[in-house]
């Protein structure tokens, strides 16, 4: 499994994955120009897409979806609620036969790998996270969630790689010039994970297979990489975890990350 995080944040989200000879995306929040530019920076020339998995309908996750479909005609996996909320402009540009509706907790079996969709908690209609498994390796992808319930931790446990939201520092958010309604929305259980909430969640689900954690969807205004990483380090140390046992880095909004191989 080869993973390229092309963009992560409120201006656009897109992750490219190769599993065997399958080429897939998680979210399509980049313009076609930026999408191909960031792939080209990695030496990737895309002749096809085999699937796109959509987490939810907000524009920073689906802004380039219709254009991608027009070029590649790939299957689009998403919840029925997300599909209903895509918006007329997007729905008019995608042939309905392209949609593949997912059910939370029901694995999707594809070409030598499986994808498990699970519910996340965000101000969207039936938003999703995904667990990708190939042989003994697994990737958990979850952004845009205000919290995650303890009784569903087993869905996340012991992945090799986590791409997990670490959106904001609550103090920076409250001190920002953002409208109060937006602050309240972000802090809500249907909003976004703070650095500390993200770290405590990871502390409860990582396992002996876990080697790397990518902190994703960092706010450009209400967070910093140093703040996110220092919060994780503080929480891990408090719980007796050895920081050097894990590679923990931050995904970026304006540039792609180095390839990750599982």
Rounded Cα distance, 88 and 124, in Å? 16
**Per-residue pLDDT tens listing for the chain (262 residues):** 999 999 999 999 999 999 999 999 999 999 999 999 999 999 999 999 999 999 999 999 999 999 999 999 999 999 999 999 998 888 999 999 999 999 999 999 998 999 999 999 999 999 999 999 999 999 999 999 999 999 999 999 999 999 999 999 999 999 999 999 999 989 999 999 999 999 999 999 999 999 999 999 999 999 999 999 999 999 999 999 888 889 999 999 999 999 999 9
Phi first, then psi, for residue 120 (nearest 5°) are -115, 180
Supply the pTM of this predicted model: 0.96
Contacts for 135 with CB less than 8 Å, ≥ 6 apart: none
- Full DSSP string of 153-195: GGGTTT-SEEEEE--B-HHHHHHSSS-HHHHHHHHSTTS--BH
Domain-wise residue ranges, the chain: 2-257
Rounded Cα distance, 230 and 233, in Å? 5
Phi first, then psi, for residue 129 (nearest 5°) are -115, 170
Output the average pLDDT for the chain: 96
State residue 89's pLDDT score: 80
CATH 3.40.50.2300 is the classification of domain 2-257: no
Per-residue pLDDT tens digits for 184-217: 989 999 999 999 999 999 999 999 999 999 999 9
State residue 244's pLDDT score: 86
State residue 242's pLDDT score: 86
Q: Is 259 exposed, middle or buried (0-12, 13-18, 19+ CB in 10 A)?
A: middle
Per-residue pLDDT tens digits for 65-74: 999 999 999 9
């Amino acid at each position: 499994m080869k993973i390229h995080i092309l963009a992560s944040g409120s201006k656009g989200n897109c992750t490219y994955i190769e599993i065997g000879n399958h080429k897939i995306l998680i979210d399509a929040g980049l313009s076609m120009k930026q999408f191909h530019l960031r792939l080209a920076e990695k030496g990737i020339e895309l002749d096809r897409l085999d699937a796109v998995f959509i987490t939810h309908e907000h524009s920073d996750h689906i802004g380039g979806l219709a254009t991608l479909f027009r070029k590649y005609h790939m299957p689009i996996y998403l919840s029925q609620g997300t599909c209903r909320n895509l918006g007329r402009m997007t729905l008019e540009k995608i042939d309905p036969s392209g949609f593949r509706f997912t059910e939370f907790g029901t694995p999707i079996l594809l070409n030598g790998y499986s994808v498990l969709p699970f519910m996340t908690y965000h101000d969207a209609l039936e938003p999703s996270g995904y667990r990708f498994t190939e042989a003994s390796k697994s990737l958990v992808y979850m952004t845009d969630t205000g919290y995650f319930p303890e009784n569903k931790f087993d869905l996340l446990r012991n992945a090799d790689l986590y791409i997990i939201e670490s959106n904001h520092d609550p103090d920076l958010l409250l001190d920002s010039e953002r409208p109060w309604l937006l602050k309240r929305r972000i802090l809500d259980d249907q909003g976004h994970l703070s650095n500390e909430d993200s770290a405590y969640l990871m502390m409860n689900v990582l396992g002996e297979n876990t080697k790397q954690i990518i902190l994703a969807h960092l706010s450009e205004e209400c967070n910093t990489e140093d703040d996110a990483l220092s919060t994780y380090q503080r929480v891990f140390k408090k719980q007796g975890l050895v920081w050097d046992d894990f590679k923990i880095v931050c995904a970026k909004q304006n540039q792609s990350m180095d390839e990750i191989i599982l």
